[in-house]
Amino acid sequence: MRVLGLDPGLRVTGWGMIEVAGNRLSYLGDGVVRSDETRSLAERLAQLHQGVLAVIAAWTPGEAAVEETFVNKNPESTLKLGQARGAVLLAPALAGLPVAEYSPARVKQSVVGSGRAAKEQVGMMVRTLLPGCQAAADAADALAVAICHAHHRTTAMRVGMGR
């Protein structure tokens, strides 16, 4: 089963693709979808949505997992991140993929063993768990979401791909 992990952001949305076969995880690919900061918010959201649809078309995952929004102190930033997350969530849903959502703490707990792990620790563990992976920060975070889903997918399937 191919699993697409997504780490939404308005400027950069990371994506990571893994293959799950029982307890075995294999790295397939990763990257980012960028939006043009000179464009309107609506155009940027469309860029993110279309970019994720292109990843889905190229890699044909069977399931997707998305990191939940981290609430910032700045309400405007939180709102924009939520809108980006909506555009990103919509792509796999429209492609007919089951979509699971995981909190940042649950992703860190699943990959590192601590819900308060630093970003660098997450990246290091992703590269350890997925030999051949050299993902940069945003893509490594997306791969961590995919790994988290691989660990929790049976339970997520039982509860309808919820949290």
Domain boundaries, given as residue ranges, for the chain = 2-158
* Given 7, 30, 63, 141, the catalytic residue: 7
The answer to pTM > 0.75 is: yes
What confidence score (pLDDT) does residue 69 get? 79
pLDDT in tens, the chain (163 residues): 999 999 999 999 999 999 999 889 999 999 999 999 999 999 999 999 999 999 999 999 999 999 997 777 788 888 999 999 999 999 999 999 999 999 999 999 999 988 888 889 999 999 999 999 999 999 999 999 999 999 998 666 656 555 4
Please tell me the class of the 2-158 domain.
alpha beta
What confidence score (pLDDT) does residue 47 get? 98
Q: How far apart are CA 118 and CA 99, in angstroms?
A: 26
Active site residue 36: no
Measured CA angle at 88 (ends 13, 6), to 5 deg: 50
What confidence score (pLDDT) does residue 119 get? 86
DSSP 3-state assignment of 121? helix
What confidence score (pLDDT) does residue 30 get? 98
What confidence score (pLDDT) does residue 163 get? 46
Nearest to 70 by CA among 119, 33, 114: 119
DSSP summary character for residue 11: S
* Given 30, 63, 101, 138, the catalytic residue: 138
Q: What burial class does residue 160 get, using C-beta atoms within 10 Å of its C-beta: 0-12 exposed, 13-18 middle, 19+ buried?
A: exposed
* Given 30, 67, 101, 141, the catalytic residue: 67
Nearest to 7 by CA among 88, 119, 110: 88
What confidence score (pLDDT) does residue 68 get? 92
Active site residue 67: yes
